[in-house]
Chains A and B, each alone.
Chain A
């Protein structure tokens, strides 16, 4: 699935839920499906800044694609991280860097989450994009290096 298709699917899933308690139930459930970060990667470097609760994110490049593992000490946060990871994991740095992210607004998360949480979500989005750009730049310089 493309990043766009995953987002559309998430939006559709959430649209069937009538109230916010149901949506939270779903978010908490998604948290349980989050690919957990290896304990050894729970380092200060992998902590996302700007989150009230602690969020660790680890990025790995395999066969030209980025895979994310993460964890948080708060359950709802973990669910939100899981949403993010499911959208981005398994895509190339270029796809991630160039993607347009609209599911957060479409689901209504930006309006309904507490400001500290939605800021945290935006910090995470920013961090994932920065990782993607960094990997993209790295692979470009390697390619350029070969050409020389």
Chain B
């Protein structure tokens, strides 16, 4: 069934893009794969795979250490990757870009360092009701450690933050706010400009979890005036095990180091160690050099397609998914936000999401089922989990048609 949706197709050749992704050519159970689990991880374009191979076959060496030729090449490649990513985020300086293992690692870094530097007993940390566990637990650990309190910005039945309650929670005790830009479980795009403006009016810094944002929409850290922003490489077509922490220079300079080790030091004696300057202060140990250049390749690939083109294309995919799923009896959307990006979460009647997910899988449709590492969100809606279809630049309308047909068939079997 090939639908011709009533849409304006933007300057994005999705069939050409699909050919760049080897894994999308695969079959599962003998059926062409429909990959709609992009919020968990995206597939990688050939250029990223080639870059990783190039790194290891041509320039692999440890960075910032050797005087030899290869070490210099590797260092240049690693630092060039930092510059590319800084430009992608419109950071003021490349030194504001710290390579991490991923979003979780970046949040742990900030929670730990900020906690040790700035949190006293009785202070308050704000997170939202729709956070991924990665943006809850590091703050919980820090709050327990420092005798501080974790408070939650509530959301409503549509899966949108209740902004009046957010405003009411702001007071002098609040020392940092950590919120997600886009909810991984619901697809809600949060009013982050408003959150940041209100926080800054009280001199409270904000950390944005942009793990579900940077691959879907333009993100400009200076325009946002954001203090800390984190994301993962593997969700933006890059390799696993690499991620980014952006931090304003003044904040990163003020924070104490997170992990100790090689590269992050200036001088070491048994009596006292002095720390290196930014960004090295926060990059202890041999960094993930291949990951960094692989992520750079992914971001360059994405820039070539154009993030605004991707945003428009995916917006149409989301709208089409919702309108097609609405045709199904008993469909229930979990989260109905006005501004949505990247993902649609749903249930059909009282069918268990695991049942639905398993039968979708057997029809070649890869989606995510379960609590999406956001158990508080599932508790809020009193459900065991959802089925989540999530999109990427290579998703096409046929993928959505197959999702809908497979869901229909599965639901008929499970009723």
Contacts and interface: CB of A to CB of B under 8 A. Distances in A.
A114 interface: yes
A25 interface: yes
Main secondary structure of the interface of A (DSSP, over half): helix
Main secondary structure of the interface of B (DSSP, over half): helix
A148 interface: no
Q: How large is the interface on A (under 10, 10 to 19, 20 to 34, 35 or more residues)?
A: 10 to 19
A112 B29 CA distance: 10
B362 A53 contact: no
A53 B359 CA distance: 15
Contact of B370 (A28, A52, A73): A52
A117 B353 CA distance: 13
A114 B362 CA distance: 10
Nearest to A51: B354
A113 B29 CA distance: 13
Contacts of A52: 354, 370
A24 B414 CA distance: 10
B242 to A, nearest CB: 26
B358 A117 contact: yes
Contacts, number: 47
Interface string A19-33: 111001100100000
Interface residues of B, number: 16
B361 interface: yes
A25 B362 CA distance: 12
Interface in A65-90: 73-77
Q: Which of B352, B361, B362 has the most CB of A within 10 A?
A: B352
A21 B358 contact: no
Interface string A40-69: 000000000000110000000000000000
A124 to B, nearest CB: 15
B355 A75 contact: yes
Contacts of A21: 359, 362-363, 409, 413
A100 to B, nearest CB: 27
A50 B29 CA distance: 27
B32 interface: no
B358 A53 contact: no
A125 B409 CA distance: 30
Interface of B: 29, 351-352, 354-355, 357-359, 361-363, 370, 384, 409, 413-414
Interface of A: 19-21, 24-25, 28, 52-53, 73-77, 112-114, 116-117
9 contacts: A52-B354, A53-B352, A73-B352, A74-B355, A76-B352, A76-B354, A77-B354, A114-B357, A116-B354
